[in-house]
Structure 1
């Protein structure tokens, strides 16, 4: 019994020490977001996605990325994609997740399953990301941090999303609402100290400008855990998106 008490006390102390060692921060983010989906063949699409993200209003740059991809529509429910993403994450917040801007490159594959129940559209998106994250080391001559190598990490992203039309005109949706959650899951021992790398609760509205374009306004509650689990960010985020959907297959 005494041994059990000692072990329990040690485990409790370890948990408490980790919780006290972890620093928590909050940033009020604004994300400017673009998605252009272009049909290039009967079942094939080229998509270009890009984002500029700011922290604490527009006072600090948080991150940008550019993401080209190719999608193949197997049937009306299932689509497969393969793509590349280049990120650059800046130094922002207090405490900051990193001490200098960190580049990151991904090669990823994705499955997107869509199902309709009446007017309700249910989307399940699963993405497997192979990540190469820049590692910063101190230059012995200048004393400055430099990117000298890249570390491979694997991450799985899963997002269920519900979309429902609010306003229709001539049987076409003018205004829709959507809600979902995206979990970023670290895969393997080298991916990070936590199971989750990020989590995003998403809710928003989409307004249809034309048959090929839409604007969206989203609220996202973003949680981030750094690689060593010493910093946790809780970031209320406003995302402004412009989406286009063009057909080049008949040209």
Structure 2
């Protein structure tokens, strides 16, 4: 099924569901990577996300990875990574207590160049273990017990256009699709639209200031829109 068809299906479903506007987000992201050889690279991502203009902690993410390419196809990059996520109670529909998640993921990225315009197609498959939150009516408390396993597919189209030697525009659109452990119950998860103005402080360090729009499914009957700012720092070690 094509990406376009998935988007149409998601928008059609949303017509019959309630739509709410969530609080504005402010997200910070640090990207660090190190080139081991011309073919091998290691790196990590650190995310700190806030809700309602930094009034509440939203999520913390730690995402190390390793990627490689072959000499025959240097513009095709294969990546394997791990992500730890902690989601905090926030917003109008909060989780009861801090909720951890561990996932591993496999990814392939295709890179193209048209003049100065850089184009990337990124395909990622995640295997997710989310901790279950259970309620104890005896003492009116919540705790973590067990895990729920699921899969998620993500496709991202990224466009990067230099404006000068130091200034550039970076934009992407990313579609998320989630499924159960057998990949049978597949549903729309969310869509991200990101537009940033970037600046190279040095050849190895850059900053981006971006607008991020999220359209996420909270449940089949409730969709959320979020507007936000994201500050991204990238460093090559």
Alignment TM-score, normalising by the size of structure 1: 0.82
| Separation of aligned partners in 1, 2:19 and 2:172 | 27
CA-to-aligned-CA distance 1:63-100 (integer Å, 9 cap, x gap): 11000001112233111010100001111111x14222
Match of 2:42 in 1: 46
Pair 1:26-2:17 in alignment? no
Match of 1:185 in 2: 177
| Cα 1:116/1:63, change in 2 over 3 Å | same
| Separation of aligned partners in 2, 1:244 and 1:221 | 25
Match of 1:116 in 2: 113
Alignment TM-score, normalising by the size of structure 2: 0.87
Match of 2:54 in 1: 58
CA-to-aligned-CA distance 1:108-134 (integer Å, 9 cap, x gap): 000011100101100111100001111
1:198–1:222: 8 Å Cα contact kept in structure 2? Answer: yes
Match of 2:228 in 1: 237
Pair 1:129-2:121 in alignment? no
Instruction: Kindly state the Cα deviation for residue 232 of structure 1 after the two structures are TM-superposed.
Output: 2.1
Pair 1:68-2:59 in alignment? no
Identify the match of residue 155 of structure 2 among 132, 155, 158: 158
| Separation of aligned partners in 1, 2:32 and 2:181 | 36
| Separation of aligned partners in 2, 1:139 and 1:190 | 30
Larger radius of gyration: 1
Identify the match of residue 102 of structure 2 among 100, 105, 113: 105
| Separation of aligned partners in 1, 2:43 and 2:79 | 10
- The aligned length equals 223
Instruction: Kindly state the Cα deviation for residue 165 of structure 1 after the two structures are TM-superposed.
Output: 0.7
Q: Secondary structure of the residue that 2:166 maps to in structure 1?
A: strand
